[in-house]
Amino acid sequence: METLRSFVGGRWVAGSGSPQTLLNPATEEPLAQVSSEGIDLAAALGHAREVGGRALRGLTFAERGALLRGIADALQEERDALLQLGIANGGNTRSDAKFDVDGAIGTLLAYVDVANALGARKFLVDGDGLQLGRSARFHGQHIAVPRRGVAVHINAFNFPAWGFAEKAAVALLAGMPVLSKPATSSAMVAHRIMQVVVEKKLLPEGALSFLVGAPRDLPAQLGAQDVLAFTGSGDTGARLRALANVIRHSVRVNIEADSLNAAVLGPEAEPRSDMYELFLKDVVRDMTQKAGQKCTAIRRILVPREIFLSVKDDLVELLTPIKVGNPAEEDTRMGPLATKSQLEDAHKGVALLKGRLAFGDLERRPKGYFLSPILVESPGEAVHEHEVFGPVASLLPYEANAAELVARGNGGLVCSLYSEDQAFLEETIHAVAPFHGRVFIGHPKIELSPGPGTVLPQLVHGGPGRAGGGEELGGARGLALYLQRVALEGPRPSIQKLLG
Catalytic residue among 295, 415, 471, 472: 295
468 contributes a contact to a copy of itself by CB under 8 A? yes
373 contributes a contact to a copy of itself by CB under 8 A? no
Query: To which H or E segment does residue 282 belong?
Result: helix 274-288
205 is catalytic: no
User: What string marks each residue from 409 to 448 as x (binds a copy of itself by CB under 8 A) or -?
Assistant: -xx-----x--x-x--xx--xx--xxxxxxxxxxx-xxxx
Render the burial of 146-171: b for 16+ CB within 10 Å, e for the rest. Answer: bbbbbbbbbbbbbbbbbbbbbbbbbb
- DSSP calls for 90-112: H---HHHHHHHHHHHHHHHHHHH
Question: Among 47, 188, 466, 478, which residue interacts with a copy of itself (rule: CB under 8 A)?
Answer: 466
CB of 268 vs a copy of itself, minimal distance in Å: 14
How many residues sit close enough to a copy of itself to count as binding (CB under 8 A)?
A: 82
User: What string marks each residue from 235 to 254 as x (binds a copy of itself by CB under 8 A) or -?
Assistant: ---x--xx----xxxxxx--
CB of 452 vs a copy of itself, minimal distance in Å: 8
- List binders of a copy of itself among 253-282 (CB under 8 A): 255
Tell the burial category of 91 from Cβ atoms under 10 Å away from its Cβ (0-12, 13-18, 19+): buried
256 is catalytic: yes
CB of 24 vs a copy of itself, minimal distance in Å: 35
309 contributes a contact to a copy of itself by CB under 8 A? no
CB of 299 vs a copy of itself, minimal distance in Å: 17
- List binders of a copy of itself among 128-187 (CB under 8 A): 130, 132-135, 137-138, 140, 142-143, 145-148
Query: To which H or E segment does residue 65 belong?
Result: helix 61-77
Query: CB-wise, 178 or 188, nearer to a copy of itself?
Result: 178
Query: CB-wise, 175 or 304, nearer to a copy of itself?
Result: 175
Render the burial of 304-343: b for 16+ CB within 10 Å, e for the rest. Answer: beebbebbbebbeebbeebebbbbeeeebebbbbbbeebb
Tell the burial category of 172 from Cβ atoms under 10 Å away from its Cβ (0-12, 13-18, 19+): buried
Of 344, 373, 348, 371, which is closest to residue 358 (Cα–Cα)?
Answer: 373
| Helix residue ranges per DSSP H, 289-416 | 308-319, 340-353, 402-407
Catalytic residue among 2, 77, 166, 256: 256
Query: CB-wise, 25 or 409, nearer to a copy of itself?
Result: 409
Q: Which residues are catalytic?
A: 256, 295
